[in-house]
Structure 1
Amino acid sequence: MENRPVGVLLREWRERRRLSQLELSIQADISTRHLSFVETGRSRPTSAMILRLTEQLDVPLRERNALLLAGGYAPAYPEGRLDGPQLKEVRASLRQVLAGHEPYPAVVVDRRWDMLDANAPIARLIEGVAAHLLEPPVNVLRLSLHPDGLAPRIVNLAEWRAHLLSRLERQVAATGAADLRELLEELRGYPGGGEAPPKRAQDVVVPFRIRVGNAELRFFSITAVFGSPLDVTVSELAIESFFPADEATSAALRRL
């Protein structure tokens, strides 16, 4: 990205968001003429202008830093290490959420869906998967859909696979990230258990149904992210929490 003009990159983000120059110029409170000059390279945008445009385009913080570098400026957003001292409180809050969610499973992932932390019930769910899928970094999408992973035990594999691929497709469309696009193509190549069943009128969420021992556990999931993050690492964290979809699952998890 850094080898390409910042104006070209901004235009690509505008087109990815399906905005015209007029629409973006109104949102960013600049003239359409000036925006056109920025995109064509006739005008060099200030760092403040780049940040204003990327804010309106909802560009992820990592890519905002890359756009600033492409424009000849220093990054505006720090990128701390989750295991570093600057993110100590963030790490503690994540651990508190994970522990508080037990006996139900929950996992912390980054933008690539790599597992950064998990609570104890996750270990029970992933028992028996191939060792190569548990070598760091553990990608939870690969772990879920790979035939050596959870896939053989997911009762509604076709439905769950379609749900996960749809989420990843939207993420690729929103970010344009090449590594996520590669992951999507990899996952599409896995066997998927046939055609996903049609949605029923009474369905409110896509269930996750998995066999653990002799029991079938049924979950629905909730994804949580940090509000108003100013650090790249924090902005890319998400907690995927699984809740029992019926009393039998709740009772089974309490026993486990």
Structure 2
Amino acid sequence: MGELLREWRDRRRISQLDLALEAGVSTRHLSFVETGRATPSRDMVLRLGEHLGVPLRERNRLLLAAGYAPVYGESALDDPEMAVVREAVRRLLTGHEPYPAVVLDRRWNLVEANAGAALLLEGVAPELLRPPVNVLRVTLHPDGMAPAIVNLGEWRAHLLGRLRREVAATADAGLADLLAELRGYPCAQPVPEVEVPGPGDFLVPLRLRHGGAELALFSTVATFGTPLDVTLAELSIESFYPADDATASLLRRARPASPAAP
């Protein structure tokens, strides 16, 4: 447990003194915990995990390493007790139509989508759409959406930057492998290390060829505010909005009639 705790403290770049002050423990005792000379109580493990911003899944690992049972459940979305959550998510998805919206798990795999999301997937190779569908792979793969993305270099830099920050925040080995895979995909456009705004820019849009037109979209990401379940803590809802009037008009005209689908 001490090794795991020290890894998370180093990852957050917090000193023993600062963590001890924030968590209300002595620096001496925290040092003993990290070196294995003292066993923390369950409450202390939870308190340290909270102050370090450790994801719920990893807080369970800390508890197990300290000899305690996990306290955060991990429910499947189709469990009966998750019916209220499923209904809330589907209301959000359906209410966002005709604009695209998707629900993602911690590794960017598609959990659910509304009918508007189908517009983004036109022309994607069928093998990339076999479950589990990874949204980042679908977006940046040369057989996926990449050929239709007008500003591929810019959008790729945006997505890889988000993923890189998630790897740093979660220490998820699966996300690290995904980042390495995506970096290996070809890209004919220059990929900026830092996104520098041009005159009048206020966000990075996704510019997508659709028929003879060009769609311009930006997205927002929503998460559950007070999750006590690992599955809920790792879900995110990405909703796309038109960045100009022409895109809004096209999406309204192309509005599909089908309901949200798994």
Q: Who is 1:47 aligned against?
A: 42
**Structure 1 counterpart SS, 2:155:** helix
Q: 2:250 aligns with which of 249, 252, 255?
A: 252
Distance of 2:191 and 2:67 partners within structure 1: 48
Separation of aligned partners in 2, 1:49 and 1:76: 13
Q: Deviations over 1:196-248 (max 9, x none)?
A: 46421422111101011221100010000000100000000100000000000
3-state DSSP class of the match of 1:243? strand
What TM-score, normalized by structure 2, do the two folds share? Answer: 0.94
Query: Residue 116 of structure 1 aligns with which residue?
Result: 111
CA distance in structure 1 between the aligned counterparts of 2:102 and 2:32, rounded to whole angstroms: 45
Instruction: Give the paired residue count.
Output: 251
| Alignment match of 1:206 (pick from 198, 204, 207) | 204
Aligned residue number for residue 97 of structure 2: 102
Match of 2:239 in 1: 241
Cα distance in 2 for partners of 1:85, 1:214 equals: 46
- Runs of 5+ unmatched residues, structure 2: 255-262
Q: Secondary structure at the match of 2:150?
A: coil
The whole-number CA distance in structure 2 between the counterparts of 1:7 and 1:193 is 46
Runs of 5+ consecutive residues of structure 1 not aligned to the other structure: 1-5
- Which amino acid letter does the alignment assign opposite residue 21 of structure 1? Q
How far apart in 1 are the matches of 2:24 and 2:43?
A: 13
Shift of 1:194: 2.2
User: Residue 152 of structure 1 aligns to which amino acid in structure 2?
Assistant: P
Q: How does 1:144-183 map to 2 (within 5 A)?
A: 144-183=139-178
Q: Encode CA deviations 1:150-205: one digit per residue, 9 max, x unaligned.
A: 00000000000000000000000111111000000000000123214642142211
Which stretch shows the higher mean deviation, 202-211 or 189-198?
189-198
Could you tell me how far apart the structure 2 residues matched to 1:41 and 1:21 are? 15
Q: Tell me how far apart the structure 1 counterparts of residues 180 and 170 of structure 2 sit (CA, whole Å).
A: 16
Show structure 1 runs of 4+ deviating over 4 A. none
Tell me which moved more, 118-127 or 94-103. 118-127
Supply the AA of the counterpart residue of 1:246.
Answer: D
Stretch of structure 1 that moved more, 229-238 or 199-208:
199-208
In structure 2, what is the equivalent of residue 32 of structure 1?
27
TM-score by length of 1: 0.96
1:137 aligns with 2:132: yes
Q: Percent identity?
A: 63
